[in-house]
A = this chain, B = another copy of it.
Amino acid sequence: MEQTAITAIRITAAQAIQKANSGHPGMAIGSAPAAYTLWKQMRHNPQNPHWANRDRFVLSCGHASALEYALLHFFGYGLTMEDLKQFRQLGSKTPGHPEYGHTRGVEATTGPLGQGFAMAVGMAMAEAHKAAVYNREGYPIVDNYTYTMLGDGCMMEGVASEAASMAGTLRLGKLIALYDSNRITIEGDTDITFREDVAARFAAYGWQVLDVPDGEDTAALAAAIAEAKAEAGKPTLIIYHTVIGVGTPVAGTAKAHGSPLGAAGMLAMRAHYNWHHPDFDVPQEIYDHYNTLTTPGTEAEADWNALFARYAKEYPELAAQWQQDHAPNLPIDLLQDEAFWHFEGKAASRVSSGEILNRLAARLPNLFGGSADLAPSNCTYLKGLGDYSAENYAGKNLHFGIREFAMAAACNGIALYGGLRTFCATFFVFADYLKPALRLSALMGLPVIYVLTHDSIGVGEDGPTHQPIEQLAMLRATPNTLMFRPADAREVAAGYIAALTHSGPTVLALSRQNLPLYENSGPAALQGAYILREPKGTPDVILMASGSELELLYKAADLLSVQGYTARIVSMPCWELFEAQSPAYRESVLPKSIRTRVAVEAAIPFGWERYTGDNGKIIALTGFGASAPAEQLYAHFGLTGEAIAKAALETIKS
C-alpha cells in the first residue's frame, strides 16, 4: 500500500502538470517517496492547519508545487481533486508556486530559490525561542520540528549558505532539511557547475549530515528522519539521492525538470508504475490509507489542547501572555500612550528608533529581532533582554551576522511561525542585499519591520558604496510595502505604529545625523503626508520632503518669507499611506489649485513627479554620492535651503 500511495502522489502531480500543460514534474516525481515518508511521521493536524505546535513543512524547491498540492490533497487538507485539475489556472487554489495565505496548509510562499530553506531556519529559531520562553517542567508547550525540502538549486544559492551557517551556530536541533540530490538542473548535470562536497560543507557549518543512497528506500528515509530527530544539539541535513522524473521517459535528464511529460510520457509513466485508474481518479483504499496517517496528528493536537488547559491553570500569566502574543491585532493602544510619544530635543532618527524599540519591547514582550552585525549603528539593541544564542534561546536580541539576505528571510520565517513580532536591521543601502526576501514579506503579507539606518548621503565619509540613492524608489515601487522615512522622533513613533498594524513589511529609513523635533509632528504622520507648517492665507508654494530634508524646507521657507512669499510645508514620510487616504484629505494637503510645488529629497528624484506635477520642481540627486563629511555633501549636491528657495521662486514666477 505504501508504494501505491506514493505512486498516487507521483501520478496526481504529473497529471496536474500535464493538464495545465505547464509545471515541473521532475522533482515532484523523484521526491515523492521522501515527501510521503516525511509527512507520514509529521505531527500535524489537517483539520487545523493553524495549531500552534504543529510541525512545520516548507517546500524550498517551490517549483515542485504539484508535489505539495498532492500531499495536501491526500493528507486531507481540503484541497480537492478539482483544485488539482485547476493547477496553475487563474484564481485556483493551486498556483504555479506554493502561496502562503492562499492555499490551506501551505506554510510559506516559495519559488525564489534558497529562501524557503532560510525561512525554515527562521521558523526553527522562533520555535527554540518560544520553547525557552514558555515551556515549563512537564509542559512542553512548544516542541515542534521544522522540516524543509530542497534541491540543487536551493543548495547553490548564497542565502541558503548564510542560513545554514546561522543554523549551525545556533545548534537548532529541531531543524531537519531533506535535500534531493538528483544532480540535474536546467542547464544539465550539476557537474558543469556544482562539484562541491555538500555533506562536508554542512558538517563544517555544524550540522549533522545523513546520507540515504537510494531516495526510493522509504525505510532508510524513515530511519534517517528518526536519527535526525534524535540529535537535539544540531540541525540535520538528510541527503537523499534520486533520479529526477524517475519512471518516465525523461528520467535522469534536464528535460524532466520544467516541462509536462506529454501524452506519450504520461502513458509510459502509467505503465512503469502499473497505474490503471482514470485521470484524477484515485481508489478509495488509497484515501483510507492516508486517513490512517493523519489520525495521530489530530490526537496530538487534542492532547496539546488538554496540556495547554492545565498549563493555563498552573501558569495563568504565561498563558495570558501567550494569548496576547497570538492576538490577531495589536493588543495595546499606542496612539493614546503618552509615554510612548514623549520625546525631547534633537536626535538622529536611528536613535529615536532605538528608544522606541525599547519602549515597544516593554509593552510587547514578543518583540524579537536584531541586526546584521550593525546593532550599535542601527540602534536596535533591546536593553536587558538578552542575546539569542545556542546557550540562551530566551534572548530577544538576534545576532544575524553579516548575512542581510538570510536575516530578512529568517524574519519571514519568524513571522510565519506565529506569536512573535519581528524586526531586522542593516544600513539602508543594503536593502539591495535583502530585497528578494522583503519581496516575499510583501507577497505573503508579513508584518516584518525593516529598520534601515544611514538613509542618505548623510552617511558621509563611507562614500557612495554606502549611500542609498535609488533605494527609496525601489521600495516605494514594491507592492504592499510601507516605505516610511520619518522626519523626527514622533514620526518614527508613527512609523512603528504603521508597521505594527500593516499586513505587510514596513521599511523605516532612518538618519545617521541629528534631526529636529517639529512642533506639529505626531500621529498625523500616519496619514502618510500632512501639513507641518501652514502660513496665513493661501500659500504661494507647497514645499514637500521626507525625512532629514524637512529641515531644509524650513530654511527655504524662512528665506522665501524674507522675500514676501509664503510656503506650506508638507512632510511626506510614507507615500503608500498617503495614497490610501480619502481624495478629500489628499486634496486638502496637495490642492489641485496650488500648482507651485517643490519636492526635496536626498535621493534620485524618480517618482516625485506624481506630487510635483507639470509645474513643479524637484531638488534631488542625479547620481551616486561621494565620500566626505555629510554637511559638505548636502551643499556639494545642491541640497540647501537657498537652492530650494530659488526653485520655489522659479515656480512661483513661471
Listed in ascending order, the chain A residues whose CB lies under 8 Å from chain B are 20, 22-23, 62, 88-92, 95-97, 99, 109-113, 152-154, 156-162, 165-166, 168-169, 185-187, 190, 192-201, 203-206, 371, 373-377, 387, 389, 399-403, 405-406, 429-430, 432-433, 435-436, 439-440, 442-443, 460-466, 469-470, 473-474, 476-480, 604, 606-607, 609-610, 613-614, 622-624, 626-629, 632-633, 636
Please tell me if the beta carbons of A96 and B627 are within 8 angstroms of each other in the complex: yes
Cα–Cα distance between A629 and B201 once the two chains are bound (Å)? 40
CB pair A169 B196 closer than 8 Å: yes
Interface-centre pick from A187, A190, A405, A462 (highest chain B CB count, 10 A):
A187
B187 engages A371 (CB within 8 Å): yes
Q: How far is the CA of A189 from the CA of B402 in the complex (A)?
A: 13
Q: A624 to B479, Cβ gap below 8 A?
A: yes
The interface residues of chain B lying within 8 Å CB-to-CB of A474 are 470, 473-474, 477
| B373:A465 contact, CB within 8 angstroms | no
Which residues of B lie under 8 Å from residue A192 when comparing CB positions? Answer: 387, 389, 399
Residues of B within 8 A of A190 (CB): 401
Q: How far is the CB of A637 from chain B (nearest CB, A)?
A: 11
Cα distance A23–B461 in the bound complex, in angstroms: 8
Cβ of A477 and Cβ of B604 under 8 Å apart? yes
A373 in contact with B186 (CB, 8 Å) = yes
Q: Could you tell me if B462 and A470 are in contact, using CB atoms closer than 8 angstroms?
A: no
Residues of chain B with a CB closer than 8 A to A436's CB? 430, 432-433
Contact yes or no, A402 B195, CB < 8 A: no
Jot down 8 A-B pairs with beta carbons below 8 A, ordered by A. Answer: A90-B626, A96-B461, A158-B403, A166-B193, A196-B206, A430-B436, A473-B477, A606-B606
Given A157-B402, A161-B161, decide whether A204 and B206 contact each other with a Cβ distance below 8 A. Answer: no
What's the minimum C-beta distance from A192 to chain B, rounded to whole angstroms?
Answer: 5
Q: Closest CB-CB distance, A321 to chain B, in whole Å?
A: 27
Q: Which of B193, B439, B478 contacts A401 (CB 8 A)?
A: B193
CA distance A90 to B480 in the complex (A): 39
Q: Which residues of B contact A62 (CB under 8 A)?
A: 465
Nearest 4 CB-CB pairs, A to B?
Answer: A158-B158, A95-B627, A90-B628, A161-B161
- Per the bound structure, the CA–CA distance linking A629 and B91 in Å amounts to 11
What is the minimal beta-carbon distance from A273 to any residue of chain B, in angstroms? Answer: 25
Which single member of B90, B165, B195, B607 contacts A196 (CB below 8 Å)? B165
Contact B401 A96 (CB under 8 A): no
Cα–Cα distance between A255 and B401 once the two chains are bound (Å): 17
> If A400-B193, A628-B90 touch, does A203 touch B206 (CB 8 Å cutoff)?
no
Taking CB atoms, residues of chain B closer than 8 Å to A156 are 162, 165, 373, 401-403
User: Contacting A470 at CB < 8 Å: which of B110, B206, B389, B478?
Assistant: B478
Q: Which residues of B contact A377 (CB under 8 A)?
A: 186
B430 touches A464 (CB 8 A): no
On whether A90 and B465 interact (CB within 8 A), knowing A186-B374, A201-B204, A403-B156, the answer reads no
Contact present for B158 and A406 (CB under 8 Å) = yes
Of all chain B residues, the one with the shortest Cβ separation from A376 is B186
A606 neighbours in B (Cβ, 8 Å): 473, 476-477, 606-607
Give A377 to B162 CA distance when docked, in angstroms: 28
Neighbouring B residues of A160 by C-beta, 8 Å: 158
Given contacts A158-B406, A169-B194, A440-B465, 18 further A-B contacts (CB under 8 A): A88-B463, A88-B629, A90-B633, A92-B627, A111-B462, A111-B465, A112-B432, A112-B433, A156-B373, A157-B158, A157-B403, A158-B162, A187-B375, A201-B205, A204-B204, A433-B436, A477-B606, A614-B614
A162 and B153 in contact, given A479-B469, A606-B477 (Cβ under 8 angstroms): no
Contact A460 B204 (CB under 8 A): no
Contact pick for A466, options B111, B157, B613, CB 8 Å: B111
Take A97-B463, A156-B162, A196-B169 as given contacts and tell me if A443 and B624 are in contact as well, using a CB distance cutoff of 8 Å.
Answer: yes
- Whether A473 contacts B607 by the Cβ 8 Å rule is yes
The answer for the CA separation of A628 and B20 in the assembled complex, in Å, is 9
Determine how close the nearest CB of chain B comes to the CB of A513; give it in whole angstroms.
13
Does the CB pair B195–A168 fall under 8 Å?
A: yes
Q: Which chain B residue has the least Cβ–Cβ distance from A592?
A: B614
Q: Chain B residues near A443 (CB, 8 Å)?
A: 464-465, 624
